[in-house]
Chains A and B, each alone.
Chain A
Amino acid sequence: DAGVTQSPTHLIKTRGQHVTLRCSPISGHKSVSWYQQVLGQGPQFIFQYYEKEERGRGNFPDRFSARQFPNYSSELNVNALLLGDSALYLCASSSDSFWGQYFGPGTRLTVT
């Protein structure tokens, strides 16, 4: 079975631009979560979606938004990019809200 997939793998953007990151969960998983991992730190929770509804939001500004589609794939959008948004963005899926989460390889975003 395919694991969690994310696209693109790498992305370079300029300050002020916006970006859309995509994630496809493991087949049968209905929950998708997004995390930001800055170099040298553990992942920080951004959003969780379950059955297309937002279940949780981390301490991130309104420039960050997400949605989940009927096929359970998900998008993370970040507007007005700042240099500090440079990070590895990880998507994770799980069969329900509290079961173990399975992570994708991540999207490396660089803001210049």
Chain B
Amino acid sequence: AQSVTQPDIHITVSEGASLELRCNYSYGATPYLFWYVQSPGQGLQLLLKYFSGDTLVQGIKGFEAEFKRSQSSFNLRKPSVHWSDAAEYFCAGYNQGGKLIFGQGTELSVKP
């Protein structure tokens, strides 16, 4: 079955520290992968997407993600976290049937 998994339910980092949120996928062909962010009570905002080509993709708000086929991963990174980055982060990808499948989400807390 095709799936997207986010192993970490909750992560806490200090403001100014680096961040890496994990995402694993299971697909046969090259996947279409996305990272979204959701603030409490809000809709989802697209941070970045990967379709093909360069495996390191840049997004908005200083985020980047790297596609690693050998590890079936698409981890989200940010070199220096700001308090405003506290939110829920979702990794997503299209399955073979063309449906966008989301991971369970990772809640990010930022310590001052």
Chain A contact residues, CB within 8 Å of chain B: 4, 33, 35, 41-45, 48, 55-56, 58, 90, 92, 97-98, 100-106, 108
CB pair B103–A42 under 8 Å, yes or no, is: yes
Chain B contact residues, CB within 8 Å of chain A: 32, 34, 36, 41-46, 49, 90, 92, 94, 97-105
CB pair B100–A55 under 8 Å, yes or no, is: no
CB pair A45–B43 under 8 Å, yes or no, is: no
Question: Given A55-B98, A56-B97, A100–B42 Cβ distance below 8 Å?
Answer: no
Question: Given A98-B94, A103-B43, A105-B43, A45–B36 Cβ distance below 8 Å?
Answer: no
CB pair A48–B42 under 8 Å, yes or no, is: no
Among A58, A97, A106, the residue within 8 A (CB) of B43 is: A106
Residues of chain B contacted by A100 (CB below 8 angstroms): 34, 46, 49
Give the docked Cα–Cα distance between A75 and B100 (Å).
Answer: 19
Residues of chain A contacted by B101 (CB below 8 angstroms): 45
Closest-CB distance, A23 to chain B (whole angstroms)? 11
Residues of chain A contacted by B103 (CB below 8 angstroms): 42
Among B32, B36, B98, the residue within 8 A (CB) of A48 is: B98
16 A-B pairs with C-beta separation under 8 A:
A4-B43, A35-B100, A41-B105, A42-B92, A42-B105, A48-B98, A56-B97, A56-B99, A90-B43, A92-B44, A92-B100, A100-B34, A101-B34, A101-B100, A103-B36, A104-B43
